[in-house]
Every structure is written in C-alpha cells, then in structure tokens.
Homo-oligomer: A and B are copies of this chain.
Amino acid sequence: MPFDPETLRFDANGLMPAIAQDAASGEVLMMAWMSADAIRRTLETGRVTYWSRSRATLWVKGESSGHVQELVEMRIDCDRDCLLVLVNQHGPACHTNRRSCFFTALRGGREVEIMAPEG
C-alpha cells in the first residue's frame, strides 16, 4: 500500500515534530514541524519542507538563505507521531549560521556555547 501521510498521528494543530539529521555525519541539526502537506511536498520535491508556526505557512527550508536540505530518507517512529528526516544539509542549518540549532550545552550546571557561527 503506498504511503499516505493521513495515516500518521498529528497533534491538535495538524502538526508533528520532524527531526533533521545530517545523513553523512549523524549530527542532529534541528527540529521543526510538519503538516501532512509539508510531508507530501518533502517527499514529492526532495526538498525538506516544514510548517512555519510563526508565519503559518509552508516553509521550504533554505528557500531564502540557500541553506536547503535535500531529503535522503524519511523515517517514522513507532507511535507514528514523530518523523526523522535524514538530509544533505547545504550550509548551516541554524538561522544563527551555526551548523546545528543545538549549539548550547549544559556543562557544570551552566549553559555553554559549543559551536560558533560559520564563515
């Protein structure tokens, strides 16, 4: 049976978390939200597309910055309410120009920046 995004379990807003992971390095790059439409567009175009909650619109990652994510593979978790997208990340994934959005670590009870902006 071909995959149908409607068989997934979306939250009350029709969204689910999608974790982007660098397909080559395994680094976790970011987490954003996908609607059924965002999932369809991602699979059809091969360009990872999220739902922007702040702008309330589909958001082709990197559309303005050029920091696109080419889809390598989409995976679904056991509860069918979370996605893992393996990607080829062009440029930094974070809007702060860092490779990953997870650049703050808790070490010794304090927040430490572990990654500098690129370029």
Residues of A within 8 A of B (CB): 1-3, 17, 19, 21, 25-28, 30-31, 43, 73-79, 82, 84, 94-96, 98, 101-107, 109-111, 114
Contacts and interface: CB of A to CB of B under 8 A. Distances in A.
Contact of A31 (B17, B96, B107): B17
- What is the count of identical protomers in the complex? 2
A26 B31 CA distance: 16
A107 B2 contact: no
A26 B78 CA distance: 19
**What 7 A-B pairs come out closest when comparing CB atoms?**
A26-B26, A77-B101, A75-B102, A84-B102, A76-B104, A31-B82, A78-B101
Q: Which of A43, A103, A105, A106 has the most CB of B within 10 A?
A: A106
Nearest to A71: B106
Contact of A106 (B3, B77, B98, B102): B3
